């Protein structure tokens, strides 16, 4: 009896002491439930964050693949050029990746989207071996223009695609008549001709003018941009040099020359096939292919261009045309 009273007193004293400390008494079951509840909550938040990030990556990858797929119909047949517009629902960055390794190199596309004012991590890179996109490292916006033009050197190598954001305006000052005609007929919203007074435009000059962002030496076959020189052959590569970043331009040009080399090998064998049918074409494609195989950078384009013109003339004169 005395013992029980003692325990009761001790418990009351303890409770009073806890009250004084303003503490709350927890049973083991409560403590356990709180800890487990917290663990489950933390896990749920972690999984939800991961799922959002995976969802963003998935959307980015799917958008990149979709953009690549949509590039198929804009490839030209016998048209000189084609322009179309891609509209996306959210602000998007399209990253242009290029590698020249392998038989044909590859064109990579990555996208990232803006959500809650922050750019998401880019999705996985989607690669295409048969596409050549010329743009800056990345283009940003909701609307993008795709301008495609065939690259004949001297036979058709591929269609070149120039990707620009609608936010970026280019103004061509004093271009040659054929360029002016082409750009006017194209009616692409962000490409202006001879009206270069407004602010925030990229001024592309063909004459010797001041305050130009890009200077095109059309007859000499090179452009000057941010203190770098990019060489070109044909109008298709001139546009490519204007719209693309230096590294992307050089990489894509290398890929194009690889494809040109493969195609010249096909035409070389086709010439042999024609000889068997007594329909000779007498084209020096072998030398052209050797020059293509030795291509290093755009400074080689001048030599290649002269040889391409030569074999084009021979093909035009041939009884059995190779292309």
Partner 1 sequence: MRIKKFNMDNYAKVRKAQFKIQQMAFMLIAVVLFFALVGIFALAFRLSEIKDTANLLEEKNAMLLVSRLANSPEFTCGEAFGGKRTNCIDFDKIIILKTEIPEYKNFWGVSNIEIRKIIGINNEVLCSLTNYPDCNVIKLIENSSSGYDYSNFVSLCWKERNDETGDVYDKCEIAKLIVRYKEKI
Task: Give contact residues for partner 1 (rule: CB under 8 A).
Answer: 28-29, 32-33, 36, 40, 43, 47, 58, 62, 65-66, 68-70, 72-73, 75-78, 103-104, 128-130, 155-158, 259, 262-263, 265-267, 269-270, 273-274, 277-279, 319-323
- Least Å from the CB of residue 227 to partner 1: 35
Q: Which two tokens stand for residue 287?
A: 């030398």
* CB nearer partner 1, residue 62 or residue 88: 62
CA distances 244 to 41, 132, 253, Å, are 48, 11, 11
- CB nearer to partner 1: pick between 93 and 131: 131
Q: Would you say 55 or 189 has its CB closer to partner 1?
A: 55
SS3 string, 129-177, reads CCCCEECCCEEEEEEEEEEEEEEECCCEEEEEEEEEECCCEEEEECCCH
- 299's CB contacts (< 8 A; 6+ apart) are 231
Shortest distance (Å) from residue 151 CB to partner 1: 9
Q: Is the peptide bond before 154 cis (omega within 30 degrees of 0)?
A: yes
Q: How far is the CB of 300 from partner 1 (least distance, A)?
A: 21
β partners of residue 171: 192, 203
Integer-rounded Cα radius of gyration of the chain? 32
Nearer to partner 1, 54 or 303 (CB): 54
- Coil, strand or helix at 97: strand
CB of 319 to partner 1, least distance (A): 8
User: What is the number of other CB atoms lying within 10 angstroms of the CB of residue 102?
Assistant: 10
CB of 17 to partner 1, least distance (A): 22
Q: Tell the smallest beta-carbon distance from residue 129 to partner 1 (Å).
A: 5
End-to-end CA gap in the chain: 115
Select 212 or 260, whichever has its Cβ closest to partner 1. Answer: 260
- Of the pair 9, 39, the CB lying nearest partner 1 is at 39
Residue whose CB is less far from partner 1, 26 or 323:
323
What is the closest distance, in whole angstroms, from the C-beta atom of residue 238 to partner 1 in the complex? 20
* CA distance linking residue 287 with residue 301, whole number of Å: 15
Which is nearer to partner 1, 8 or 266 (by Cβ)? 266
| Alpha-helical runs (H) found in the chain | 2-20, 28-70, 177-186, 234-243, 246-276, 285-293, 301-317
Q: How far is the CB of 58 from partner 1 (least distance, A)?
A: 6
Q: Which of 296, 299, 254 is nearest to 107 (CA)?
A: 254
């Amino acid at each position: 009896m005395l013992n029980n009273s003692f325990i009761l007193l001790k418990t009351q004293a303890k409770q009073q002491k806890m009250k004084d400390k303003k503490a709350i008494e927890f049973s083991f079951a409560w403590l356990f439930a709180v800890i487990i509840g917290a663990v489950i909550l933390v896990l749920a938040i972690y999984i939800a964050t991961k799922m959002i990030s995976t969802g963003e990556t998935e959307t980015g990858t799917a958008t990149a693949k979709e953009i690549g797929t949509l590039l198929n119909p804009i490839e030209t047949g016998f048209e000189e050029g084609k322009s179309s517009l891609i509209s996306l629902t959210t602000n998007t960055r399209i990253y242009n990746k290029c590698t020249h390794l392998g038989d044909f190199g590859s064109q990579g596309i990555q996208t990232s989207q803006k959500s809650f004012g922050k750019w998401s991590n880019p999705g996985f890179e989607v690669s295409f071996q048969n596409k050549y996109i010329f743009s800056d490292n990345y283009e940003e916006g909701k609307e993008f223009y795709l301008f495609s033009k065939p690259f004949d050197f001297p036979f058709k190598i591929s269609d070149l695609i120039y990707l620009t954001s609608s936010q970026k305006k280019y103004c061509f000052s004093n271009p040659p008549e054929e360029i002016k005609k082409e750009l006017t007929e194209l009616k692409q919203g962000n490409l202006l001709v001879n009206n270069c007074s407004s602010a925030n435009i990229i001024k592309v000059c063909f004459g010797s003018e001041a305050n130009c962002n890009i200077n095109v030496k059309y007859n000499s076959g090179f452009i000057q941009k941010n203190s770098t020189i990019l060489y070109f052959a044909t109008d298709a590569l001139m546009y490519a040099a204007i719209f693309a970043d230096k590294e992307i331009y050089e990489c894509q040009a290398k890929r194009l020359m690889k494809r040109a080399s493969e195609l010249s090998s096909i035409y070389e064998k086709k010439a042999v096939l024609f000889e068997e049918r007594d329909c000779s074409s007498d084209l020096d494609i072998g030398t052209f292919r050797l020059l293509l195989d030795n291509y290093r950078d755009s400074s080689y384009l001048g030599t290649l261009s002269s040889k391409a013109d030569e074999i084009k003339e021979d093909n035009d004169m041939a009884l059995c045309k190779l292309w």
